[in-house]
Amino acid sequence: MTTQLRHTRVGTSAVPRRRIRAKHRKNLIGWLFLLPAVALIATFTIVPFFQAILLSFQSWDGISPDIPFVGFENYDRVLQDEIFWASMRNVLAFGLIGFVVGNSVALVMALAVTRVKRGQAFFRTAFYLPGVFSVVVVGTMFLWIFQPRVGILNTLLGAVGLENLQQNWLGDPSTALLSVAATFVWYHWGFAFILFLAGLQDIPRELYEAASLDGARSWAKFRYVTWPQLAPVTSIVSVLTLLAALQIFGTVQVLTYGGPGYNTMVPTLHIYIEAFTNNRYGTAAAMSVLFGGALVVLALVQLAVAGRRLRR
């Protein structure tokens, strides 16, 4: 029966089989094209990811050929590490400021630039420019801006008679985190700005014309046309900027190195110090797993919320 059936199928479906073969060939070519990327991702992302998980159960000083298993000792150490949890609290503050302030500024500036009749290219370039600099350049620049005695900010405040607002911006715990966050927002908002700008330019003009005919004013147009139409862009920008803010490293490293005290310490810097200064790679890996896991969960939740908003 089986043979008969097969014969029948072969006999009657020569053309579909050719199509299937052609489809397989196409797939094969597709996979060949993907192969280098897959190989690179496997080598430099997937394998290290699993290696990090493995390392989190081991003890290693970075040099020794002996890497003994220590079970959950590293996780136990991290759970009792007050600095790690303080750094998690700090990074939440950075995340909130980066997410809310950074995206708000980016959106407002994008809205403003779309309304500008002339010089759009100039503003696009000017606003995106900070993101082009190296973090070390930005850090050094802001070190000079925030310097308490001869810094540009305090000098300017003094020049306009606002001496009472002069601060030790990076040395005072009450202003250090905000100063670093401000630097981070300045450095990164150009990215969200460009995406918002592209999203705004994709909104059909007809929608605004129709809204005008219906008597909608500026706020109503934003509320009922711009904001819903920007939803896909907002979703992706939100995820990317929040993750970028939570992974803040270079700005903190250059400006404060987590200080004064531990007031601006963030998990990425703490992990770096644990690995490269304290030579405890196992503990650093355990921190990375916990912090990385938290980021993945947060990103998934955010994407789920954004997806629900899009479906509505």
Partner 1 sequence: MRTQPTAVHVRPRHRRAPAVAGFMLVAALLLNGCGSSSGDNSAGQDDSDGQVELLFFNQSRGQEETLTALAADYEEQTGVSVTIESPGPGNYLQDLQSRAQADRMPDLYSATDPFEMAPYFNAGWAMELTSELDGEWEETFSPAAVDLWRFADGNNLGVPEGIYSVHWETALYAMLVAESTGISPDAPPETMSEFTARLSEEDAQFSVAASLTPRLLMSYASNFMTDEELEATLAGDAGWETDAWRDTFQLLIDLRDAGVIASDEIPGGTEDNPGVEQSFFNVRDVEAIFDGTFGIGVQRATAPEFTEYFSTGVPAADNGTHEPRAVARRGRGAVVNPKGEHPEEALAFARWLTEPEQQQVFSDEVGMIPTSAELLDSGSISPELEGFAALAEDAQVLPGAFMAADVEDAIARASQSLVLGEISVEEALAQVQAAQDQSS
Q: Where does this chain bind partner 1 (CB under 8 A)? A: 19, 22, 25, 29, 32-33, 35-36, 39-40, 43, 61-65, 77, 81-82, 143, 148-150, 168, 170-173, 253-262, 273, 276-279
Residues 274 and 257: beta-carbon distance below 8 Å: no
**Shortest distance, position 126 Cβ to partner 1, whole Å:** 28
Tell the smallest beta-carbon distance from residue 148 to partner 1 (Å): 5
> What 3-state DSSP class applies to 35?
helix
Q: Whole-number minimum distance, CB 227 to partner 1, in Å?
A: 41
Cα(207)–Cα(200) distance, rounded to whole angstroms?
12
Q: Which residues of 74-111 are buried (b: 16+ CB within 10 A; e: fewer)?
A: bbebbeebeebebbbebbebbbebbbebbbebbbebbb
- Please say which residue, 81 or 100, places its beta carbon nearer to partner 1: 81
Contact yes or no for 262/87 (Cβ under 8 A): yes
Q: Which is nearer to partner 1, 238 or 253 (CB)?
A: 253
Query: In the complex with partner 1, which residue's Cβ is closer, 32 or 213?
Result: 32
Geometric angle at alpha carbon 96, from 173 and 138, rounded to 5°: 65
Which residue, 247 or 279, is less far from partner 1 as judged by CB? 279
For residues 139 and 187, what is the distance between their CA atoms, to the nearest angstrom? 10
Minimum CB distance to partner 1 smaller for 77 or for 221: 77
Q: How far is the CB of 63 from partner 1 (least distance, A)?
A: 4
In the bound complex, what is the minimum distance in angstroms from residue 277's beta carbon to partner 1? 5
